[in-house]
């Protein structure tokens, strides 16, 4: 998702800068995906199922959180677009993505997700504040695009750095 957020900001960058930012985004995504692949390979050993972990319940709750997030984003984008405030859409999406990490923190037992939620909501709030005070039109896409990408990559990197090889990695 970090790469998608980066791509959302590229149109507001000069072509040379956009290529460099995109290359950095692709490199970051590749490094994180390679790390996940390494962990999944180490995780491939069969283990006895934990009585406290029910994958179907986790999957169901995760799907409910994501469905709620998508519904909020769709409704907000619709309302903002219809009322002539479409420049606010990236910041509102950033806030919704941030807020969806709150229930995920509890679901997965990851305190890091609370920090991710706060960081994303701060990016959204800063975008809204600066945009409302007359900052350039491009800020409405650049700040949430690149800010969200950096937060998501930092979260992924932190998870990879703190997940011991051989531990059970849960989606």
Q: What is the pLDDT of residue 58?
A: 86
Q: What is the CA radius of gyration of the chain?
A: 18
DSSP assignment of 31-82 equals HHHHHHHHHHHHTTS--PPPTT--HHHHHHHHHHHHHHHHHHHHHHHHHHHH
How does pLDDT run across 80-103, given as a tens digit for each residue?
999 999 999 999 999 999 999 999
Q: How far is CA 35 from CA 7, 27, 126, 169, in A?
A: 22, 12, 31, 12
pLDDT at 171: 47
Closest listed residue to residue 28, CA positions, set 163, 149, 164, 141: 149
pTM for the predicted model, two decimal places: 0.80
Question: Which segments of the chain have a pLDDT < 50?
Answer: 169, 171
Supply φ then ψ for residue 135, to 5 degrees.
-65, 165
> Tell me, what's the pLDDT at 47?
55
Q: Which residues contact 47 (CB under 8 A, 6 or more apart)?
A: 168
């Amino acid at each position: 998702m970090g790469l998608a957020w980066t791509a959302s900001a590229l149109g507001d960058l000069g072509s040379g800068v956009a290529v460099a930012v995109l290359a950095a985004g692709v490199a970051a995504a590749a490094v994180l995906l390679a790390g996940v692949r390494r962990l999944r390979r180490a995780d491939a050993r069969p283990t006895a199922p934990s009585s406290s972990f029910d994958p179907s319940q986790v999957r169901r709750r995760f799907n409910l959180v994501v469905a709620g997030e998508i519904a909020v984003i769709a409704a907000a984008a619709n309302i903002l677009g219809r009322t002539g405030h479409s420049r606010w859409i990236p910041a509102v999406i950033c806030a919704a993505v941030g807020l969806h990490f709150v229930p995920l923190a509890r679901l997965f037992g990851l305190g890091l997700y609370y920090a991710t939620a706060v960081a994303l909501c701060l990016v959204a709030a800063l975008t809204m504040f600066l945009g409302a005070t007359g900052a350039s039109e491009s800020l409405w896409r650049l700040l949430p695009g690149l800010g969200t990408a950096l937060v998501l990559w930092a979260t992924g990197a932190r998870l990879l750095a703190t997940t011991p090889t051989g531990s059970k990695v849960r989606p």
